[in-house]
Structure 1
Amino acid sequence: MESYYWIPTGMILIADLTIRIGLSIRVIMRKRAASVTLAWLVVILLLPFVGAFIYLLFGENRLGEHRAARAAADLEIITRWADSLRRRTRVEWEGVNPECQPLHRQIDTIIGIPTMPGNRLDLITSPADFFRSLIADIDNARSSCFLEFYIWNEGGMADQVVEALIRARRRGVTCRVLLDSIGSKDFFFSPTCQRMRRHGIKIIEALPAGLIRALFVRIDLRNHRKIVTIDGRIGYSGSQNLVDPRYFKQDQGVGQWIDTMVRVEGPVVEIMTASFIYDWLLESRKSMQELTES
């Protein structure tokens, strides 16, 4: 029996070599930036098995085949909308800073969204001012309130937003909230979330995460968008989560977060609304017809 001790060792070495060669070829075939490709090759070739494991966890943007299929189907709807948007939009560059034109061409080429002139932007540098403005706009909403955030944390003025949304629902306003599964994991299990749902506010998770799901998809890829659109005519975006900094992670000694938001009125709100709808269709697994009927 001792003469066969080398067989398991040989099989392990062959398996390791096969994995390294196979993954190295895959990394090269992905045709990413040379620095990225070289870095992954070093990890795979210098760390037996461990390097392969690290690459399988973080090396590719794995979000699941079914999700990719839904994204492709929904993208056709967005593409048709973007084409109509381009036909409806015309920019008179003589009255616009010419330095913006290269940025316009780049964005239009990459994502097919044209420049949308004629907007009013208000910079908001205080969390309290942001919450007061948002609550006032929700209280004046007539048809829809769409909110998308990475983190929703209970406490302080964030709870006042909840009350404003409940008031909006009582007026017949459609309210939808899309939150990242990991960033807002505590909120999903909170009494506040359940109460909002009881009042008819639709709340769903973006990029659901879990131990089993982690075996098949990249759970470190998160939705960090911070977008609000109200009635399709008012929008908010920036770095502020739906969090009152006075009540967020104060036990960790990090101090209050400092964020900035922009309140927008004008044609660009249509793009912000479309971004939310695309994400909602993807996560809710509903069609555009089902969305408009619900």
Structure 2
Amino acid sequence: MIGVCLLGCNTVIEPPDPVELPEVPERVANIFKQKYPDATETTMRVVEKGNFWEADFKLGSDRYYAGLDSVEVLRGLRLVNSEVPDSIRSLLTNTSLAKVELTGYREQVESFIDTEKQFVARYTYQNKEYEMMWTPGLRSYVLNCVPHYKFFGRMYPNYIPENIQAFIAAENLRSIGGAMFINDKNERTYRMNAQHAGNNVYDFIFDSKGTLLWTSFNRKEITNTLNLPAHIQAYLQQMEAEYGYKLGSGYEIYYTGGYSLFLQKGVQESLEVKLDKDGREVDRVQMIYVNW
């Protein structure tokens, strides 16, 4: 294991795989030090050579985690030394998440996407990792349940793989924003927005290899569920029978052969789920509304 000094005060270690990795650049060490000048017991790791790093450290008696690039801290989390409050857990009782176990209770204190501080808890659902986020102190708020990522970075042009750029160009689209999301395996997911003629803006999700997983571009609205394949009809029937979800609207996605479904359970829950052509979930965003 290779160790280097972070401005003379903390220990920096590099991951064992791949074997040959550079030390944390002075520029990155300075960004961290300027953001957290009082940090102690700091351990930094290379997430992606030359692009991303992460750090575990303490401020006072609290432990923190941060993900950063060579420009800024992208996400900062304070580890909360307690269980998720019962007041939050009880809100899941009559939802599809009633049986999940909430772990990794943290307070998000830094994010280039969200300006407000939020609390975060992790859970596993159908063998995939998600996180639940909520803003404390509000009378009415939303439990926002999204795929789990360690941190997310800005979509700089030099970060976009050539095959994604080629796809955007071939479809006469213009990229206007988005973000990269880094998972626990240090793999990227690209979530992009691109504009087409007529000023319409569409969403795109690509995996770490630049393969298109889902898009709202070039889609057809679902007007009759009886025209859907049997396995998609079965999925909708199961969601209603087990969880009380009813289809609000949906689309067939020409590029992937998949589907985008917007499901509703009264005024308490909504679920946006993206399916591949075989009916497997590619992505889901679930919202539970409190005191609305």
Whether these two folds match at TM > 0.5 is no
Shorter chain as denominator, the TM-score bin is under 0.3
TM-score (norm 2): 0.26
Please state which structure has a larger fraction of its residues in strand.
2
The structure with the greater share of residues assigned to helix is 1
Q: TM-score, normalised by structure 1?
A: 0.26
In our comparison, the structure showing a higher alpha carbon Rg is 1
Higher relative CO (Cα under 8 Å, sequence separation at least 6) belongs to 1
